[in-house]
Structure 1
Protein backbone atom coordinates (compact mmCIF):
# COMPACT_ATOMS: atom_id res chain seq x y z
CA UNK A 1 0.00 0.00 0.00
CA UNK A 2 1.29 3.46 -0.89
CA UNK A 3 2.35 5.90 1.81
CA UNK A 4 -0.16 8.51 2.93
CA UNK A 5 0.87 12.17 3.20
CA UNK A 6 -0.81 15.05 4.97
CA UNK A 7 -0.10 18.50 3.47
CA UNK A 8 -1.16 21.62 5.41
CA UNK A 9 -0.84 25.07 3.82
CA UNK A 10 -3.11 28.12 3.62
CA UNK A 11 -2.22 28.69 -0.04
CA UNK A 12 -4.58 26.71 -2.34
CA UNK A 13 -2.04 26.82 -5.17
CA UNK A 14 0.59 25.11 -2.99
CA UNK A 15 -1.87 22.41 -1.92
CA UNK A 16 -2.86 21.81 -5.54
CA UNK A 17 0.71 21.53 -6.81
CA UNK A 18 1.97 19.31 -3.98
CA UNK A 19 -1.08 17.04 -4.22
CA UNK A 20 -0.63 16.67 -7.99
CA UNK A 21 3.06 15.77 -7.84
CA UNK A 22 2.72 13.56 -4.78
CA UNK A 23 -0.13 11.55 -6.31
CA UNK A 24 1.82 11.38 -9.56
CA UNK A 25 4.58 9.68 -7.57
CA UNK A 26 2.24 7.16 -6.01
CA UNK A 27 1.42 8.80 -2.68
CA UNK A 28 -2.05 9.18 -1.21
CA UNK A 29 -2.61 12.79 -0.17
CA UNK A 30 -4.83 14.58 2.35
CA UNK A 31 -4.81 18.39 2.46
CA UNK A 32 -5.66 21.00 5.07
CA UNK A 33 -5.68 24.81 4.88
CA UNK A 34 -5.18 25.56 8.58
CA UNK A 35 -3.63 24.08 11.69
CA UNK A 36 -6.82 22.88 13.35
CA UNK A 37 -7.90 20.99 10.22
CA UNK A 38 -4.42 19.50 9.93
CA UNK A 39 -4.61 18.07 13.45
CA UNK A 40 -8.07 16.62 12.84
CA UNK A 41 -6.86 14.97 9.64
CA UNK A 42 -3.75 13.68 11.38
CA UNK A 43 -5.90 11.94 13.97
CA UNK A 44 -8.33 10.55 11.41
CA UNK A 45 -6.03 9.63 8.53
CA UNK A 46 -2.84 8.60 10.45
CA UNK A 47 -0.49 9.74 7.65
CA UNK A 48 3.00 8.35 7.12
CA UNK A 49 4.48 11.85 6.65
CA UNK A 50 3.35 15.44 7.27
CA UNK A 51 4.22 18.57 5.28
CA UNK A 52 3.49 21.72 7.31
CA UNK A 53 3.46 25.35 6.32
CA UNK A 54 4.75 27.36 9.28
CA UNK A 55 2.66 30.52 8.85
CA UNK A 56 -0.95 29.32 8.91
CA UNK A 57 -4.06 30.91 10.41
CA UNK A 58 -5.02 29.67 13.86
CA UNK A 59 -2.45 27.10 14.92
CA UNK A 60 0.88 27.64 13.17
CA UNK A 61 3.11 24.87 11.90
CA UNK A 62 5.25 24.80 15.04
CA UNK A 63 2.17 24.35 17.22
CA UNK A 64 0.82 21.59 14.98
CA UNK A 65 4.17 19.80 15.03
CA UNK A 66 4.33 20.02 18.82
CA UNK A 67 0.85 18.50 19.10
CA UNK A 68 1.78 15.72 16.67
CA UNK A 69 4.93 14.88 18.62
CA UNK A 70 2.87 14.39 21.78
CA UNK A 71 1.28 11.33 20.20
CA UNK A 72 3.74 10.24 17.49
CA UNK A 73 7.51 10.72 17.61
CA UNK A 74 8.30 8.81 14.44
CA UNK A 75 6.16 10.31 11.66
CA UNK A 76 8.44 12.54 9.53
CA UNK A 77 7.57 16.24 9.49
CA UNK A 78 8.76 18.62 6.76
CA UNK A 79 8.28 22.36 7.27
CA UNK A 80 7.52 24.79 4.45
CA UNK A 81 8.67 28.37 4.98
CA UNK A 82 8.44 31.42 2.73
CA UNK A 83 11.75 32.76 1.40
CA UNK A 84 12.91 35.69 3.49
CA UNK A 85 10.86 34.79 6.57
CA UNK A 86 12.80 34.99 9.81
CA UNK A 87 12.10 31.49 11.04
CA UNK A 88 13.60 29.90 14.12
CA UNK A 89 14.78 26.65 12.57
CA UNK A 90 16.31 25.68 15.88
CA UNK A 91 12.82 25.66 17.38
CA UNK A 92 11.52 23.52 14.54
CA UNK A 93 14.24 20.91 14.89
CA UNK A 94 13.83 20.92 18.66
CA UNK A 95 10.14 20.14 18.20
CA UNK A 96 11.08 17.20 16.00
CA UNK A 97 11.12 18.51 12.44
CA UNK A 98 12.96 16.32 9.93
CA UNK A 99 13.52 18.86 7.18
CA UNK A 100 12.82 22.39 5.89
CA UNK A 101 11.88 23.41 2.35
CA UNK A 102 11.88 27.09 1.39
CA UNK A 103 9.19 28.61 -0.83
CA UNK A 104 9.17 28.98 -3.73
CA UNK A 105 10.33 25.40 -4.24
CA UNK A 106 10.57 22.94 -7.07
CA UNK A 107 7.87 20.27 -6.58
CA UNK A 108 10.34 17.56 -7.61
CA UNK A 109 12.68 18.61 -4.81
CA UNK A 110 9.92 18.34 -2.21
CA UNK A 111 8.95 14.90 -3.54
CA UNK A 112 12.60 13.85 -3.32
CA UNK A 113 12.81 15.00 0.30
CA UNK A 114 9.57 13.23 1.15
CA UNK A 115 11.01 10.01 -0.24
CA UNK A 116 14.25 10.47 1.68
CA UNK A 117 12.42 11.00 4.98
CA UNK A 118 10.22 7.95 4.44
CA UNK A 119 13.15 5.72 3.49
CA UNK A 120 15.09 6.86 6.55
CA UNK A 121 12.12 6.06 8.78
CA UNK A 122 11.60 2.63 7.21
CA UNK A 123 15.29 1.73 7.23
CA UNK A 124 15.74 2.41 10.93
CA UNK A 125 12.57 1.47 12.80
CA UNK A 126 12.41 2.37 16.47
CA UNK A 127 10.41 0.31 18.90
CA UNK A 128 7.70 2.31 20.60
CA UNK A 129 6.21 0.73 23.73
CA UNK A 130 4.51 3.98 24.71
CA UNK A 131 3.86 7.28 22.92
CA UNK A 132 6.75 9.62 23.50
CA UNK A 133 9.21 6.84 24.38
CA UNK A 134 12.13 6.03 22.09
CA UNK A 135 13.80 2.66 22.68
CA UNK A 136 17.22 2.05 21.15
CA UNK A 137 18.33 -1.31 22.48
CA UNK A 138 19.27 -0.87 26.14
CA UNK A 139 18.80 2.92 25.93
CA UNK A 140 15.33 4.40 26.44
CA UNK A 141 14.46 8.10 26.15
CA UNK A 142 11.08 9.29 27.45
CA UNK A 143 10.32 12.64 25.85
CA UNK A 144 7.26 13.27 28.01
CA UNK A 145 8.77 12.69 31.45
CA UNK A 146 12.27 13.70 30.31
CA UNK A 147 13.80 10.57 31.77
CA UNK A 148 16.49 8.27 30.41
CA UNK A 149 16.91 4.60 31.28
CA UNK A 150 20.10 2.73 30.42
CA UNK A 151 20.43 -1.02 30.96
CA UNK A 152 17.38 -0.98 33.21
CA UNK A 153 18.50 1.88 35.45
CA UNK A 154 17.43 5.53 35.28
CA UNK A 155 20.29 7.98 34.80
CA UNK A 156 20.34 11.62 35.86
CA UNK A 157 20.97 14.16 33.10
CA UNK A 158 21.02 17.94 33.23
CA UNK A 159 18.38 19.76 31.15
CA UNK A 160 20.85 20.48 28.36
CA UNK A 161 22.23 16.94 28.38
CA UNK A 162 18.71 15.58 28.02
CA UNK A 163 17.84 18.05 25.26
CA UNK A 164 20.87 16.96 23.24
CA UNK A 165 20.18 13.25 23.73
CA UNK A 166 16.49 13.72 22.92
CA UNK A 167 17.30 15.67 19.75
CA UNK A 168 19.55 12.86 18.53
CA UNK A 169 17.04 10.19 19.61
CA UNK A 170 14.35 11.75 17.44
CA UNK A 171 16.63 11.21 14.42
CA UNK A 172 17.93 7.69 15.15
CA UNK A 173 21.05 6.61 13.23
CA UNK A 174 21.04 9.90 11.29
CA UNK A 175 24.32 11.82 11.31
CA UNK A 176 23.55 15.24 12.79
CA UNK A 177 26.02 18.06 12.17
CA UNK A 178 27.45 20.07 15.06
CA UNK A 179 25.87 23.20 13.58
CA UNK A 180 22.43 21.59 13.48
CA UNK A 181 22.83 20.34 17.05
CA UNK A 182 23.88 23.79 18.18
CA UNK A 183 20.85 25.36 16.51
CA UNK A 184 18.43 22.70 17.65
CA UNK A 185 19.52 22.48 21.28
CA UNK A 186 20.95 25.92 22.04
CA UNK A 187 19.00 27.95 19.46
CA UNK A 188 20.09 30.06 16.51
CA UNK A 189 20.67 33.08 18.75
CA UNK A 190 23.35 31.28 20.77
CA UNK A 191 26.62 33.24 20.57
CA UNK A 192 28.85 31.16 22.83
CA UNK A 193 31.62 28.74 21.97
CA UNK A 194 30.48 26.05 19.52
CA UNK A 195 32.76 23.65 21.40
CA UNK A 196 29.99 23.36 23.97
CA UNK A 197 28.45 20.59 21.83
CA UNK A 198 31.49 18.34 22.29
CA UNK A 199 31.53 19.09 26.02
CA UNK A 200 27.91 18.05 26.51
CA UNK A 201 28.36 14.97 24.29
CA UNK A 202 31.27 13.88 26.52
CA UNK A 203 29.14 14.33 29.65
CA UNK A 204 26.26 12.37 28.15
CA UNK A 205 28.60 9.52 27.21
CA UNK A 206 29.91 9.37 30.76
CA UNK A 207 26.35 8.72 31.92
CA UNK A 208 24.91 6.42 29.25
CA UNK A 209 27.86 4.44 27.89
CA UNK A 210 29.43 1.45 29.60
CA UNK A 211 32.78 2.57 28.23
CA UNK A 212 32.71 6.28 27.26
CA UNK A 213 36.03 5.87 25.44
CA UNK A 214 34.43 3.27 23.16
CA UNK A 215 30.81 4.43 22.85
CA UNK A 216 28.14 2.02 21.70
CA UNK A 217 25.25 4.48 21.30
CA UNK A 218 26.51 8.05 20.88
CA UNK A 219 28.92 7.86 17.97
CA UNK A 220 31.15 10.54 16.47
CA UNK A 221 31.03 11.30 12.75
CA UNK A 222 34.54 12.70 12.40
CA UNK A 223 34.67 16.13 10.85
CA UNK A 224 30.88 16.42 10.86
CA UNK A 225 28.91 15.67 14.00
CA UNK A 226 27.26 12.84 15.94
CA UNK A 227 24.92 9.90 15.50
CA UNK A 228 22.76 8.01 18.04
CA UNK A 229 22.23 4.29 17.38
Structure 2
Protein backbone atom coordinates (compact mmCIF):
# COMPACT_ATOMS: atom_id res chain seq x y z
CA UNK A 1 0.00 0.00 0.00
CA UNK A 2 1.27 3.50 -0.76
CA UNK A 3 2.35 5.21 2.45
CA UNK A 4 0.97 8.76 2.74
CA UNK A 5 1.96 11.32 5.36
CA UNK A 6 -0.90 13.81 5.75
CA UNK A 7 -0.11 17.09 7.54
CA UNK A 8 -3.29 19.07 8.21
CA UNK A 9 -4.18 21.15 11.27
CA UNK A 10 -7.98 21.04 10.89
CA UNK A 11 -9.06 17.92 12.78
CA UNK A 12 -12.26 17.28 10.82
CA UNK A 13 -10.51 17.71 7.48
CA UNK A 14 -7.56 15.62 8.64
CA UNK A 15 -9.75 12.76 9.86
CA UNK A 16 -12.00 12.87 6.80
CA UNK A 17 -9.16 12.87 4.28
CA UNK A 18 -7.23 10.18 6.16
CA UNK A 19 -10.32 7.94 6.26
CA UNK A 20 -11.02 8.45 2.56
CA UNK A 21 -7.42 7.68 1.59
CA UNK A 22 -7.39 4.52 3.69
CA UNK A 23 -10.57 3.38 1.96
CA UNK A 24 -8.81 3.92 -1.35
CA UNK A 25 -5.97 1.63 -0.35
CA UNK A 26 -3.39 3.95 1.18
CA UNK A 27 -1.59 3.55 4.48
CA UNK A 28 -1.89 6.94 6.19
CA UNK A 29 -0.06 8.65 9.03
CA UNK A 30 -1.62 11.98 10.03
CA UNK A 31 0.07 14.92 11.75
CA UNK A 32 -1.49 18.13 13.08
CA UNK A 33 1.53 20.45 12.96
CA UNK A 34 4.64 20.92 10.88
CA UNK A 35 6.87 19.91 13.76
CA UNK A 36 4.91 16.70 14.26
CA UNK A 37 5.01 16.09 10.53
CA UNK A 38 8.80 16.30 10.41
CA UNK A 39 9.08 13.87 13.32
CA UNK A 40 6.65 11.48 11.66
CA UNK A 41 8.58 11.72 8.40
CA UNK A 42 11.62 10.16 10.06
CA UNK A 43 9.71 7.29 11.70
CA UNK A 44 6.98 6.57 9.12
CA UNK A 45 9.09 6.94 5.95
CA UNK A 46 6.21 7.80 3.58
CA UNK A 47 6.10 7.37 -0.19
CA UNK A 48 4.43 10.76 -0.58
CA UNK A 49 3.53 13.74 1.63
CA UNK A 50 0.29 15.73 1.45
CA UNK A 51 1.14 19.03 3.12
CA UNK A 52 -1.28 21.81 4.06
CA UNK A 53 0.24 25.18 3.22
CA UNK A 54 -1.51 27.07 6.04
CA UNK A 55 -0.31 25.54 9.30
CA UNK A 56 -0.11 27.08 12.79
CA UNK A 57 3.31 27.45 14.33
CA UNK A 58 5.75 26.22 11.72
CA UNK A 59 4.39 27.35 8.32
CA UNK A 60 3.86 24.81 5.56
CA UNK A 61 6.52 26.48 3.40
CA UNK A 62 9.12 25.95 6.11
CA UNK A 63 7.99 22.35 6.53
CA UNK A 64 8.39 21.82 2.79
CA UNK A 65 11.90 23.28 2.83
CA UNK A 66 12.78 21.18 5.86
CA UNK A 67 11.59 18.02 4.14
CA UNK A 68 13.55 18.88 1.03
CA UNK A 69 16.66 19.31 3.18
CA UNK A 70 16.10 15.81 4.59
CA UNK A 71 15.09 14.09 1.37
CA UNK A 72 15.35 15.57 -2.12
CA UNK A 73 13.54 12.64 -3.74
CA UNK A 74 10.39 12.56 -1.58
CA UNK A 75 7.27 13.60 -3.56
CA UNK A 76 5.44 16.48 -1.84
CA UNK A 77 1.86 17.38 -2.76
CA UNK A 78 0.88 20.79 -1.41
CA UNK A 79 -2.71 21.50 -0.37
CA UNK A 80 -3.76 25.13 -0.18
CA UNK A 81 -7.07 26.64 0.86
CA UNK A 82 -6.49 29.51 -1.52
CA UNK A 83 -5.88 29.38 -5.22
CA UNK A 84 -3.93 32.65 -5.23
CA UNK A 85 -1.15 32.69 -7.79
CA UNK A 86 1.41 33.98 -5.31
CA UNK A 87 0.68 31.28 -2.70
CA UNK A 88 0.87 28.51 -5.28
CA UNK A 89 4.05 29.77 -6.93
CA UNK A 90 5.82 30.29 -3.59
CA UNK A 91 4.83 26.78 -2.51
CA UNK A 92 6.11 25.25 -5.74
CA UNK A 93 9.34 27.19 -5.51
CA UNK A 94 9.80 25.93 -1.95
CA UNK A 95 10.02 22.41 -3.35
CA UNK A 96 6.48 21.02 -3.75
CA UNK A 97 6.05 18.72 -6.75
CA UNK A 98 2.37 19.43 -7.31
CA UNK A 99 -0.61 21.08 -5.61
CA UNK A 100 -4.33 20.83 -5.03
CA UNK A 101 -6.73 23.58 -3.97
CA UNK A 102 -8.94 22.83 -0.96
CA UNK A 103 -11.59 21.65 -0.54
CA UNK A 104 -10.52 18.79 -2.76
CA UNK A 105 -12.49 15.64 -3.51
CA UNK A 106 -10.93 12.51 -2.07
CA UNK A 107 -10.80 10.76 -5.43
CA UNK A 108 -9.06 13.79 -6.99
CA UNK A 109 -6.44 13.71 -4.23
CA UNK A 110 -6.11 9.95 -4.68
CA UNK A 111 -5.56 10.43 -8.42
CA UNK A 112 -2.87 13.06 -7.83
CA UNK A 113 -1.12 10.84 -5.29
CA UNK A 114 -1.14 7.84 -7.61
CA UNK A 115 0.06 10.01 -10.50
CA UNK A 116 3.08 11.27 -8.59
CA UNK A 117 3.88 7.72 -7.45
CA UNK A 118 3.64 6.48 -11.06
CA UNK A 119 6.07 9.19 -12.09
CA UNK A 120 8.54 8.12 -9.43
CA UNK A 121 8.18 4.46 -10.45
CA UNK A 122 8.53 5.30 -14.15
CA UNK A 123 11.73 7.22 -13.46
CA UNK A 124 13.29 4.05 -12.09
CA UNK A 125 11.79 1.68 -14.66
CA UNK A 126 14.69 2.06 -17.06
CA UNK A 127 17.35 1.31 -14.48
CA UNK A 128 18.20 -1.98 -16.25
CA UNK A 129 19.29 -0.07 -19.37
CA UNK A 130 22.55 1.73 -18.56
CA UNK A 131 22.73 5.13 -20.20
CA UNK A 132 24.85 8.07 -19.20
CA UNK A 133 24.66 11.24 -21.26
CA UNK A 134 27.29 13.98 -21.05
CA UNK A 135 26.61 17.52 -22.17
CA UNK A 136 29.70 19.63 -21.63
CA UNK A 137 30.18 19.80 -17.86
CA UNK A 138 26.77 18.20 -17.16
CA UNK A 139 26.39 14.43 -16.73
CA UNK A 140 22.95 12.81 -16.63
CA UNK A 141 22.87 9.19 -15.48
CA UNK A 142 19.48 7.95 -16.69
CA UNK A 143 19.92 4.54 -15.08
CA UNK A 144 21.11 5.68 -11.68
CA UNK A 145 18.90 8.80 -11.81
CA UNK A 146 21.74 11.07 -10.78
CA UNK A 147 22.93 14.38 -12.16
CA UNK A 148 26.40 15.89 -11.85
CA UNK A 149 27.51 19.38 -12.80
CA UNK A 150 31.26 19.86 -13.06
CA UNK A 151 31.62 16.60 -11.16
CA UNK A 152 29.45 17.70 -8.25
CA UNK A 153 26.15 15.88 -7.56
CA UNK A 154 23.04 18.02 -8.10
CA UNK A 155 20.26 16.95 -5.68
CA UNK A 156 16.93 17.14 -7.51
CA UNK A 157 13.35 16.63 -6.40
CA UNK A 158 11.30 14.11 -8.45
CA UNK A 159 9.62 16.71 -10.65
CA UNK A 160 12.91 18.53 -11.25
CA UNK A 161 14.64 15.31 -12.26
CA UNK A 162 11.84 14.24 -14.60
CA UNK A 163 11.79 17.70 -16.17
CA UNK A 164 15.55 17.56 -16.82
CA UNK A 165 15.33 14.00 -18.14
CA UNK A 166 12.53 15.00 -20.51
CA UNK A 167 14.23 18.11 -21.86
CA UNK A 168 17.72 16.62 -22.13
CA UNK A 169 16.45 13.53 -23.96
CA UNK A 170 15.78 15.77 -26.99
CA UNK A 171 18.42 18.54 -27.03
CA UNK A 172 17.35 21.55 -29.05
CA UNK A 173 13.69 20.56 -29.18
CA UNK A 174 11.28 23.20 -27.91
CA UNK A 175 8.69 21.83 -25.49
CA UNK A 176 5.54 23.80 -24.80
CA UNK A 177 4.43 24.09 -21.19
CA UNK A 178 1.45 21.86 -21.96
CA UNK A 179 3.69 19.16 -23.40
CA UNK A 180 5.82 19.26 -20.27
CA UNK A 181 2.74 19.14 -18.04
CA UNK A 182 1.55 16.00 -19.80
CA UNK A 183 4.98 14.37 -19.79
CA UNK A 184 6.25 15.30 -16.33
CA UNK A 185 3.06 15.79 -14.29
CA UNK A 186 0.49 13.80 -16.31
CA UNK A 187 -1.74 16.88 -16.40
CA UNK A 188 -3.65 16.83 -19.67
CA UNK A 189 -5.97 19.37 -21.23
CA UNK A 190 -5.93 22.48 -19.04
CA UNK A 191 -2.88 21.96 -16.87
CA UNK A 192 -1.36 24.70 -14.78
CA UNK A 193 1.69 26.25 -16.46
CA UNK A 194 2.85 27.57 -13.08
CA UNK A 195 3.99 24.04 -12.24
CA UNK A 196 6.39 24.14 -15.18
CA UNK A 197 7.67 27.67 -14.61
CA UNK A 198 8.29 27.12 -10.89
CA UNK A 199 10.05 23.81 -11.54
CA UNK A 200 12.26 25.39 -14.20
CA UNK A 201 13.16 28.16 -11.77
CA UNK A 202 14.15 25.63 -9.08
CA UNK A 203 16.11 23.57 -11.57
CA UNK A 204 18.02 26.59 -12.86
CA UNK A 205 18.82 27.70 -9.31
CA UNK A 206 20.32 24.29 -8.52
CA UNK A 207 22.32 24.27 -11.75
CA UNK A 208 23.68 27.77 -11.24
CA UNK A 209 24.22 29.88 -14.35
CA UNK A 210 24.97 26.86 -16.57
CA UNK A 211 22.46 27.98 -19.21
CA UNK A 212 21.31 24.48 -20.16
CA UNK A 213 17.60 25.25 -19.70
CA UNK A 214 16.62 27.98 -22.13
CA UNK A 215 13.37 29.89 -22.45
CA UNK A 216 11.93 30.21 -25.94
CA UNK A 217 9.71 33.23 -25.53
CA UNK A 218 6.12 32.58 -26.55
CA UNK A 219 6.67 28.84 -26.96
CA UNK A 220 8.22 27.11 -23.93
CA UNK A 221 11.59 25.63 -22.98
CA UNK A 222 14.44 23.69 -24.54
CA UNK A 223 17.62 21.99 -23.44
CA UNK A 224 20.74 23.50 -24.99
CA UNK A 225 23.40 20.79 -25.29
CA UNK A 226 27.06 21.75 -25.48
TM range (shorter): 0.5 to 0.7
The separation in 2 between residues aligned to 1:12 and 1:87, in whole angstroms, is: 26
The 1:38/1:32 distance shift into structure 2, 3 A limit, reads: same
Aligned to 2:102: 103
| Counterpart for residue 67 of structure 1 | 66
Alignment of 1:175-214 (within 5 A): 177=177, 179-180=193-194, 181-184=196-199, 204-205=211-212
Give the conservation status (yes or no) of the 8 Å contact 1:90–1:185. no
Q: Is the 8 A contact 1:82 1:102 kept in 2?
A: yes
Match of 1:140 in 2: 147
Helix, strand or coil at the partner of 1:22:
helix
Structure with greater proportional helix content: 2
The one-character-per-residue Cα deviations of 1:64-116 (angstroms, maximum 9, x if unpaired) are 11111112111110111113556432322222211110011111101000000
The corresponding residue for 2:49 is: 50
- 1:6 and 1:30 in contact (8 A); partners too: yes
2: CA distance between counterparts of 1:35 and 1:83? 19
Q: What SS does structure 2 have at the residue aligned with 1:29?
A: strand
- Deviation at 1:56? 0.4
Contact 2:5 2:30 in 1 (8 A): yes
The verdict on how the C-alpha distance between 1:154 and 1:121 changes in structure 2, with shifts beyond 3 A counting, is closer
Give the alignment's Cα RMSD to 1 decimal: 4.2
Which ranges in structure 1 are unaligned for 5 or more consecutive residues?
128-134, 142-147, 156-161, 188-196, 206-217
Flag the 1:182–1:98 CA change in 2: closer, same or farther, 3 A. closer
What is residue 10 of structure 2 aligned with on the other side? 11
Structure 2: runs of 5+ lacking an equivalent: 128-138, 168-174, 181-192
Matched residue count: 182
Return the TM-score normalized by structure 2.
Answer: 0.64
Is the 2:123–2:162 Cα contact (8 Å) retained in structure 1?
no
Question: CA offset at residue 183 of structure 1?
Answer: 4.1
Paired with 1:92 and 1:54, the residues of 2 have a C-alpha distance of 8
